[in-house]
Structure 1
Amino acid sequence: MARHSGVTEAGFDPLIHAPHRLRICAIAHAATHVEFGELQERLGVSKSALSKHIAQLVERGYLQEEHLTRGGRSRLRVSLTEPGRRAYRGHTAALKEIIEAVE
C-alpha cells in the first residue's frame, strides 16, 4: 500500500500501533481530555516513558497538551486533536479489516 504522512491508505498507522500509544489514543478518544497522572496509572509506565509517547503523538499533531495549575500543583492534560481522532479511527478500522480477513 502507498504511504503518505506515515499512514497507509488502509488507515494503519505505525505511530499509533505501538501498544502504549494505542492505549493513550483509545483513552483520549473516549474522553474530552485526560490527565497525565491518570494515563500513567492506567498504563503502568514511568513518567519518562509516558512523556516520550506523548511527545511523539504531539509531534505528529495527534495530541495536544494543556498545562494547568490546580491546588497549587502543575498538571498536564492531553486531548486528541481532530487529525488524531481521524487517525485513531482509521487505525482501528484497519485493524478490524485485518482481523475480519483472517476469520
Structure 2
Amino acid sequence: MPPAGPRTPDPLDDDDYPAYTIGRAADMLGTTPSFLRALGENRLIAPLRSEGGHRRYSRYQLRIAARARELVDAGTPIEAACRIIILEDQLEEARRINEELRHRAERRKTSA
C-alpha cells in the first residue's frame, strides 16, 4: 500500500481547467463550434488557447454556454442572451458582496 501523503491535484477535478476542444465542447452541448465562437465574440466566455492556438473550454465555461443555449433555444437573440447571463452573474456577485458586508456588520454589533 502506498504511503499516505499529500494528494496531487488532478487538473480534471478543476472546473476551470481548459480540457475540451471546441469540437468536443460543441458535441457535449449539442450545438455548433460557430455558436461557441459567437459566445466568445459577445464576450460571454473567453476560452484559453492551446500552444497551437486552438480554443480550449473548461467545465465552468461549458455550463455558461449551456445557459446561453437555453436562452437562444427559447428565442432570445444570442447577443441578448449573452448580456442577460453577464447581468445575472453581476447580480449574483453583488448579492454575495452584500451578504458578506451584512455578516461583517452583524459581527461588529455583537462584539461591540
TM-score by length of 2: 0.32
Higher relative contact order (CA 8 A, sep 6+): 1
Bigger-Rg structure (1/2):
2
TM-score by length of 1: 0.34
